[in-house]
Structure 1
């Protein structure tokens, strides 16, 4: 059954699927409520002073990969701050992120190669949440076209249901979160430099899943923000820019 063949009833069945065995630990109600401020973020970024941004010593090409049910517009503010620092932020050009399909991953591979060939340098892949899972998969498939993978609140480690979005994911994507239509390699580190940004205030993804184990990434960095805040919080912007400047 392809994604387009899935009926509403089947999507509901996936969303209401029972978990066999003990339920994995997920962010609690207090942290979930912290995500409720996200609709106010467009106002927040307009009324507060712009974050201080220092010019990059070595500007990079950065391919931006949005999170689940997000679009490039959702990362627009972060992209703007990255460009203020002198880097070049590039759109993934796949629109709405409704989950992985073989066709989407292959199209993203072509986009990555297009960006590398156009600028004559390996880009950094910056993936937010599910976008980070795409980034890691791309680096496995095209390691010679990627300089670094940076994930922000991406659940690449542990139980794929240790989050507050897996039921929505299964409804929208149309497949079980632990059985995507592409190869699963969540715990396998890509063969390029891989950095995990995570937050213990994350109300969507369990922090341990976004931080990962030592063998699953090269470095990890805790950021004081909500899950949605990775796209606009000053702390997240500073962490991203510091990492982009790190060789």
Structure 2
């Protein structure tokens, strides 16, 4: 088992891993092939799920993920703000308002799933509106360590007009949310250094490792299965993910953050 500390600088993923991001198309094809297996996850209880896209992406990028979650029995919603160009003026307020509307409409807490930058948003929402958030699931999200340990930070700064290390916002992202929290990450992520996706393990936090590209995290069958498994847990009865069901080929032993 690997234990990660942030005593030393963490480099962004290598160019080789970045070039290998094109394998995401094969991950999507694998999910279609393994659809019968993905049906084995228990069906949901109908609660609302909000799915937030990554940098430069929109709701179209999370289409397969949302379709699968809806198929498993949830009330699924995209973020509805077009392309994600970072937390520009009004973006965070609209997400906050959307979360409140979903919670008020159903009278129940909302699960929030975020891919990459969307996961940072999800953690911010959980930190500031924990009464409305049931649980948080992040996919390849930079949540700790150096915000520059990514191949996307320059793009983030260019399109958002903000610094990657904005202290107040980064503090909210790095803080462990006061709700059940799952970080799904891959050591072969070509965009975000996997070490920065690790959450400290605790009574209601966990890391799940998968073999995936960054761009394929929303399509990868191992990710879809894990997400559905996490959503299916009864509210207030959270338990860590049981990786033994499918074995180390799909879910290697996750690293730990010191």
Q: TM-score, normalised by structure 2?
A: 0.79
1:13-64 deviation line (CA, Å, top 9, x unaligned): xxxxxxxxx96411112321221234x4698379745353234153432100
In the alignment, which residue of structure 2 is the partner of 1:76? 63
In the alignment, which residue of structure 2 is the partner of 1:44? 29
1:44-86 deviation line (CA, Å, top 9, x unaligned): 3797453532341534321000011110110001111111111
In the alignment, which residue of structure 1 is the partner of 2:221? 234
Pick from 130, 133, 140 the counterpart of residue 153 of structure 1. 140
In the alignment, which residue of structure 1 is the partner of 2:16? 30
For 1:84 and 1:214, how far apart are their aligned partners in 2?
30
Structure 2: runs of 5+ lacking an equivalent: 1-7, 239-258
- CA RMSD after TM alignment: 2.5
For 2:31 and 2:201, how far apart are their aligned partners in 1?
38
Contact 2:31 2:220 in 1 (8 A): no
Is 1:100 equivalent to 2:87 in the alignment? yes
Structure with the higher fraction of residues in helix conformation: 1
Matches for 1:178-217 after TM superposition, within 5 Å: 178-179=165-166, 182=169, 184-214=171-201
For 1:178 and 1:158, how far apart are their aligned partners in 2?
10
1:137-161 deviation line (CA, Å, top 9, x unaligned): 1111111000101111000110000
In the alignment, which residue of structure 2 is the partner of 1:7? none
For 1:98 and 1:173, how far apart are their aligned partners in 2?
6
For 2:182 and 2:170, how far apart are their aligned partners in 1?
21
For 2:179 and 2:167, how far apart are their aligned partners in 1?
23
In the alignment, which residue of structure 2 is the partner of 1:11? none
Contact 1:156 1:209 in 2 (8 A): yes
Structure 2 SS opposite 1:147: strand
Is 1:177 equivalent to 2:187 in the alignment? no
Contact 2:23 2:213 in 1 (8 A): no
How many residues in Structure 1 have an aligned counterpart in Structure 2?
Answer: 225
For 2:189 and 2:97, how far apart are their aligned partners in 1?
32
Structure 2 SS opposite 1:195: strand
Contact 1:63 1:91 in 2 (8 A): yes
Structure 2 SS opposite 1:208: helix
Structure 1: runs of 5+ lacking an equivalent: 1-21
